[in-house]
């Protein structure tokens, strides 16, 4: 894997430059629009337009190699739209419900993606090590390989490996779930 594989490895080959070529310009546009516009309602409206544009481009291109990653990105972008639209609500109760709901949905999607990725990395490392029961990879060569991939840790880095093993301990119960999700492309 190349030095920059962690940046482009999740994208389909034809969209290897999606992050720097599409996402970063939208982020810059969001910052510039937010800085140039003074009124909070107008800032939220401008940000909503930018996020809807990103959502549209992402939905039309589906740049990630795995459909799960595309769905998660779309879910997070929709949740961001809900937060921004909620911020534009004049009714206080609806504003709070939409903003809190959007933030919680974003948090849930990010945690879900993290757990699925850890489980998938463990499964791949266990398969590469020739293990049949990948849920035991935590104490094996595959577990060490997963720790290295997640932390950039060396074999002597007990802290990074222990931290990753602790994270992986919590995901063992998700093995049945990850088997059903892991096959999606």
Condensed to tens digits (0 to 9), the pLDDT of residues 14-51 reads 888 888 888 899 999 989 888 998 898 899 999 999 99
Scored b (16 or more CB within 10 A) or e, 124-159 reads: bbbeeeebeebbebbebebbbbbbbbbeebeeeeee
Entry pTM: 0.63
pLDDT value of position 128 = 81
What sign does the CA torsion over 72, 75, 81, 85 have? Answer: negative
pLDDT value of position 144 = 56
Condensed to tens digits (0 to 9), the pLDDT of residues 120-174 reads 888 888 888 876 555 554 555 555 555 555 555 444 444 444 444 444 444 433 3
Q: Which of 66-70, 131-135, 151-155, 177-181 has the lowest mean pLDDT?
A: 177-181
pLDDT value of position 141 = 54
């Amino acid at each position: 894997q190349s030095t920059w594989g962690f940046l482009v490895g999740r994208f389909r080959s034809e969209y290897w430059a999606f992050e720097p070529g599409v996402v970063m310009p939208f982020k810059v546009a969001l910052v510039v629009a937010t800085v140039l516009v003074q009124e909070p309602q107008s800032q939220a409206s401008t940000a909503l337009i930018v996020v809807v544009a990103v959502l549209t481009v992402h939905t039309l291109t589906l740049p990630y190699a795995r459909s799960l990653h595309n769905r998660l990105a779309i879910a997070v972008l929709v949740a961001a739209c809900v937060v921004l639209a909620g911020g534009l609500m004049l009714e206080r109760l609806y504003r709070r419900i939409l903003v809190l709901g959007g933030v919680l949905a974003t948090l849930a999607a990010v945690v879900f993606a993290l757990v699925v990725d850890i489980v998938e990395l463990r499964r791949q490392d266990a398969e590469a090590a020739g293990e049949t029961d990948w849920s035991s990879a935590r104490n094996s060569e595959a577990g060490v390989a997963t720790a290295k991939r997640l932390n950039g840790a060396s074999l002597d880095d007990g802290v990074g490996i222990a931290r990753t093993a602790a994270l992986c301990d919590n995901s063992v119960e998700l093995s049945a779930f990850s088997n059903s999700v892991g096959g999606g492309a």
